Structure 1
């Protein structure tokens, strides 16, 4: 009996010690906050995942098991747990609904479900995530109104919910978003008036609500916004109201786009906005003459077509006054008199690209030059539908509509001198590499300029390449613009290819995982602050053919750090030791049972001998 007691006491002591050691290891290797783990499971259960992109959400811990799209802080917070910092589920063919449990990700900074098929409404519980900075829900099928609770997020920088079916009014609570710089809500069903309270937003830079059902009037208070650069409200119905004269006083305005908004009255004088690059007031009911005051010398685009404008074409639209002008559209009005040739004279000396002048369907009677050869080759002029087209010398300008055949650009074959068989798919020759026939695996990025300040990208292409590679800390030759196309908006879509650095010593032909992670983080954190002329951007897609997320601990789908890997090893050791203790205890129990059996046999044998 004494031996049995000692064995059991010893076994229990070993188990207790090993369990304590396991707890100590767990304490030094924190795992994800349990509330957030439950929230992630609820989020997954509310989604439909036909491609199985979230299949690894059933394996291990979110922050230490590399769950797809889950990115955690590198260290534990005050509660001793790891927390989810970013939830990015970009273009994963997800449908279903957004779970209210999203509100339990209390330390989240970026919430992104871009380019999926998610329906239902935006959960009001998101409004409880005080740390949230980026709300990225664009490109889905979300419906219902915008929750008032979103207006109480103190750290919100960007609300990006465009290209959904969101309805109802803009919440007045949005006036509390003092840190928000970007409202991207275009292409929805948002209705009602723009709350004048939004004019109190001190940080607002981009206000994009084109293609909605807004009505009422344009808030005059908006001109007081000190940092507003883009105001884009095309294709809404403001019921015949006028453009507030105060809009001509916005100090930092780069782009004003009010196309097809049922606006009436005169065109304000915009000469005081020295930074204005793009003005679109087309397809309204504007009357009166075109202001003769000078526009910004940097303006690239003036669109006043499809209105009720009268009078002459003013000389302030000449290339000598507006040297950066790319497109002037004053077609479909009632302008009369002569066309001043100063609009395009000396264009060849300006050093800029193509100029398109649209004057169709007015009442213009002549052009004040004697020969049509005075129009430079890089200028396109459309005159169809004017009385002056009776002059046979102007027939070539009156036959068809103005059209820019270079509206888009497709990839060009720059590798025909390289042997095709030496660069098997998915590898490609880098068209811009300083090394001839450098064969590498490119990184594909879908990119779109949402509200550019120009009409022709070609003169700005090199500047864009320099800007983007510098922000990504890449060499200029690593970027190749495979194609670009103007889309409805107008917005400029691009297919970009990034190639790894040529490394002859290590014979490198692919990006390593950490470099892919770094580039991905810059794009998805919206750390690229575009220069004025490029405007805000959209991140459409990101892929590397043949790349697997488990190839490197720092891949775009990874949340692992060195500390986490150490923790995993220690945790594995703790589990192994604990299992060994249990096995040891079972073996000891078997020995105790065997001892009892032998003792009983010995006693029985002794009794039998004595009786004999």
Structure 2
């Protein structure tokens, strides 16, 4: 719960190697003398109220290994001297108001393991070297204003998280992303990416979260995605994807989120989707899909919103679009819901309901008579009934003048 500013007397701590001031209420600027501490290796000042710029010469002592200044009110540029000694491993500056580009010198800092600069106002092209760090396990650059294209080479067998969401990155997704053997999260949503989804992504056996939504990606959904056997979430919504939903994607038994909405997909929904018992979010809305909606397995829990905006679809979730033989094969009803009720239909329906009521009353009277005479049945008998796939409304819809 410390308050105030960093004391000027700290400048005398010439042997200081670690300065931990995180989670306090300190304010003001980080004094320039901090950059001149000759032995400083670790500077952690996250979750304070520091303002102004980072010391311009920070890291020039050649010993800095870890800098964490997240969640402050820092502005200005990222110093280009942070990795002057080639020892910097951790750079965490997220949740500030930093602006300008990432220095090219950081792209050449091969010692970096973790880079997190999300939620700032950084811009320019991301240095290509950041995508080729031999020891990096996390690269989080989301919620900035980065632009330009991704480099053709993206490497790093230790990289587990690559987050570039909510920027202005253009161009295609490099096929070399399939070389990131340890990648678990690939998040590139809300950019300006184009081209097609590279089939090489299917080589990522450890990938659990794939989000490419909100871009301009076209072409088909690659069937090779079925090779990402650890996938739990796929979001490809709000793109320009075409073609049919590949049946291979139904082999992903761990998938709990599948969002393909707002694309230009055609064809039917693969029947095998019924076998995906882990699905908790399923959205195919606003495409050009057609045919009958499968209703088996986990699909039973999804309502009309999962299929809205597909005029060619029919089936139970879409109450106003019953299936007909022409678009789905055998079905309960072949008429449209707009057909008005005629007096004969009303009379027949009332007659059916009245007969059912009389039968129910007779059954109750007979049962009470049996019990009152002491004629208890020797045992219960269970009769199984299979639920029919139509409702009373469907019966009424199917009534025609020629069968009343």
Same fold judged by TM-score > 0.5?
A: yes
Give the aligned partner of residue 214 of structure 1.
Answer: 146
Q: Which of 189, 193, 197 is the equivalent residue of 1:267?
A: 197
User: CA 1:396–1:120 in structure 2 vs 1: closer, same or farther (change >3 Å)?
Assistant: farther
Q: Which of 96, 111, 114 is the equivalent residue of 2:46?
A: 114
Give the aligned partner of residue 230 of structure 1.
Answer: 161
Deviation, structure 1 residue 196: 2.0
* 1:246 and 2:176 matched: yes
Deviation, structure 1 residue 377: 6.2
| 8 Å contact from structure 1 (residues 102, 126) kept in 2 | yes
Instruction: Give the structure-1-normalised TM-score.
Output: 0.48
- How many equivalent residue pairs? 317
| 8 Å contact from structure 2 (residues 232, 257) kept in 1 | yes
Deviation, structure 1 residue 85: 3.5
The 2-side partners of 1:52 and 1:229 are apart by 36
Give the aligned partner of residue 385 of structure 2.
Answer: none
Q: Trace 1:465-480 onto structure 2 (pairs within 5 A).
A: none
The 1-side partners of 2:31 and 2:122 are apart by 22
Deviation, structure 1 residue 90: 2.2
Deviation, structure 1 residue 302: 0.9
Q: Trace 1:344-363 onto structure 2 (pairs within 5 A).
A: 344-345=274-275, 347=277, 355-363=280-288
Could you give the per-residue CA deviations for residues 264-308 of structure 1, whole angstroms, max 9, x where no partner exists? Answer: 111111112222221111100111111112231111111100001
Report 1 or 2 for greater relative contact order, CA contacts < 8 Å, sequence distance ≥ 6: 1
* 1:195 and 2:131 matched: no
| 8 Å contact from structure 1 (residues 188, 211) kept in 2 | yes
Deviation, structure 1 residue 106: 2.7
* 1:387 and 2:311 matched: yes
| 8 Å contact from structure 1 (residues 152, 174) kept in 2 | no
User: CA 1:397–1:218 in structure 2 vs 1: closer, same or farther (change >3 Å)?
Assistant: farther
Tell me, what secondary structure is at the counterpart of 1:173? helix
Tell me, what secondary structure is at the counterpart of 1:366? strand
Q: Trace 1:13-412 onto structure 2 (pairs within 5 A).
A: 53=3, 83-222=15-154, 224-239=155-170, 241-269=171-199, 270-293=201-224, 294-318=226-250, 321-345=251-275, 347=277, 355-367=280-292, 369=294, 372=295, 374-375=297-298, 382-388=306-312, 391=315, 393-395=316-318
Could you tell me which runs of 5 or more consecutive residues in structure 1 were left unpaired when the two chains were aligned.
1-50, 63-80, 399-612
The 1-side partners of 2:215 and 2:2 are apart by 49
| 8 Å contact from structure 1 (residues 300, 327) kept in 2 | yes
Tell me, what secondary structure is at the counterpart of 1:317? helix
User: CA 1:299–1:375 in structure 2 vs 1: closer, same or farther (change >3 Å)?
Assistant: closer
The 2-side partners of 1:287 and 1:326 are apart by 24
The 2-side partners of 1:178 and 1:397 are apart by 60
The structure having more radius of gyration, on CA atoms, is 1
Deviation, structure 1 residue 56: 11
Structure with greater helix share of residues: 1
Range moving further from structure 2, 337-346 or 252-261: 337-346
User: CA 1:57–1:146 in structure 2 vs 1: closer, same or farther (change >3 Å)?
Assistant: closer
The 2-side partners of 1:248 and 1:336 are apart by 27
The 2-side partners of 1:334 and 1:92 are apart by 51
| 8 Å contact from structure 2 (residues 255, 276) kept in 1 | no
User: CA 1:105–1:396 in structure 2 vs 1: closer, same or farther (change >3 Å)?
Assistant: farther
| 8 Å contact from structure 1 (residues 340, 367) kept in 2 | no
Deviation, structure 1 residue 323: 1.7
Deviation, structure 1 residue 326: 1.4
Tell me, what secondary structure is at the counterpart of 2:248? helix
User: CA 1:243–1:346 in structure 2 vs 1: closer, same or farther (change >3 Å)?
Assistant: closer
| 8 Å contact from structure 1 (residues 102, 125) kept in 2 | no
The 2-side partners of 1:118 and 1:225 are apart by 34
User: CA 1:262–1:143 in structure 2 vs 1: closer, same or farther (change >3 Å)?
Assistant: same
Deviation, structure 1 residue 342: 1.7
Deviation, structure 1 residue 82: 8.7
User: CA 1:322–1:52 in structure 2 vs 1: closer, same or farther (change >3 Å)?
Assistant: closer
The 1-side partners of 2:71 and 2:139 are apart by 18
| 8 Å contact from structure 2 (residues 14, 39) kept in 1 | no
| 8 Å contact from structure 1 (residues 144, 165) kept in 2 | yes
| 8 Å contact from structure 2 (residues 276, 298) kept in 1 | no
Q: CA RMSD in A?
A: 2.9
The 1-side partners of 2:248 and 2:301 are apart by 20
The 2-side partners of 1:244 and 1:98 are apart by 39
| 8 Å contact from structure 1 (residues 133, 158) kept in 2 | yes
Tell me, what secondary structure is at the counterpart of 2:153? helix
| 8 Å contact from structure 2 (residues 234, 257) kept in 1 | yes
Range moving further from structure 2, 161-170 or 105-114: 105-114
